[in-house]
Amino acid sequence: MDRFDNIPETALSWHRDGAGAALATVVETWGSAPRRIGAQLAISGDGRIEGSVSGGCVEGAVIVEAMEALEEGAHRLLEFGVSDDDAFAVGLACGGTIRILVEPVGSAMPAALLADLVRARADRKAMAYAVNVETGERRLVGPEAFPNRMRMDRSGFEEDAQTFVAVHNPPLRLVVVGAVHIAQALVPMARIAGYDPVVIDPRDTFASPARFPDTRLMHDWPDEAVETLGLDARTALVLLTHDPKLDDPAIMAALKADVFYIGALGSTRTHAKRVARLEDAGFTARQIGRIRGPIGLDIGAAGPAEIAVATLAQMTQVLRQG
């Protein structure tokens, strides 16, 4: 999955600065196309670029088309065949074909609409941008309009073959309570899978930069930390301390929020006690049922690294399948 980028933000900034800007988006691919559908390239009126739509093999032609589209003020739908030689140059085994939509900002794509999208991205609000490539009709809608696409992070054309939907989900975030050995294995795995990890543990000795390099560490109590972070539908919460004083407040906050995954370490007996405490606190069986405990897919995991694999696999299953 592509990491969260700043291509729409860059295009809006160039437009507002008076340089002019166009957004080029991969809308369809066949074969071994270099970039996934939804990948974007921003082109300024003075020739600057940010992002990529092909790994380098067609960018030059797209830039020329974008400059012409800026002059005309209308969108363009381009199609390129990526030859075997070009594909090999960008690390692919064989060629492919891509279609790219070029939209000048301020004419084809209203600047106000792009500003709304940028604002939603800054606020971690999931949005979908839908454009009819025949009529030029454009709209920005919430995730309820295209729930399957949003869940799967899958941009693409609708069945009418005219309406392209670009998914703009916030970055995935992993919040880990408990800086234990499993967390040391899970955090780098999750980062590779596209998550921005945060580790919460009031114990400085456990949550140290030496144990978790290049990771955001919070030494607050978990309930205070998750309130500071905010919990949303792109957040996974993993609880690894075995200590109700640390785990329970974070679980309670997550059960009241819209996180897509809650996983808690512990045996079946430990989880039964956790369920009883939550019932006493007034949570319903349906709310409590959202907790995956014992944590992870049942793959016979043994040791911290394998438990981390099982946990990340379960997070992926819940994210993609619901």
State pLDDT tens for residues 260-309. 999 999 999 999 999 999 999 999 999 999 999 999 999 999 999 999 99
The per-residue pLDDT for 3 is 43
The per-residue pLDDT for 87 is 53
144 and 128 Cβ atoms separated by less than 8 Å: no
**pTM, full prediction:** 0.77
The CATH fold of domain 172-321: Rossmann fold (3.40.50)
The per-residue pLDDT for 86 is 57
State pLDDT tens for residues 122-161. 998 999 999 999 999 999 999 999 999 998 899 999 999 9
Residue 99 pLDDT greater than 70, yes or no = yes
Every domain range in the chain assigned CATH 3.40.50.720: 172-321
The per-residue pLDDT for 154 is 93
- CA–chain centroid gap for 83, Å, is 31
Confidence of residue 85 (pLDDT cuts 50, 70, 90): low
As a whole number of angstroms, the distance between CA 262 and CA 260 comes to 7
The per-residue pLDDT for 1 is 37
State pLDDT tens for residues 215-248. 999 999 998 999 999 898 899 999 999 889 989 9
Q: Residue 122 class from Cβ within 10 Å (0-12 exposed, 13-18 middle, 19+ buried)?
A: exposed
Confidence of residue 97 (pLDDT cuts 50, 70, 90): confident
Q: What angle, 0 to 180 degrees and rounded to 10, lies between the N-to-C axes of helices 111-122 and 7-16?
A: 130
Q: Which of helix, strand or coil describes residue 76? A: strand
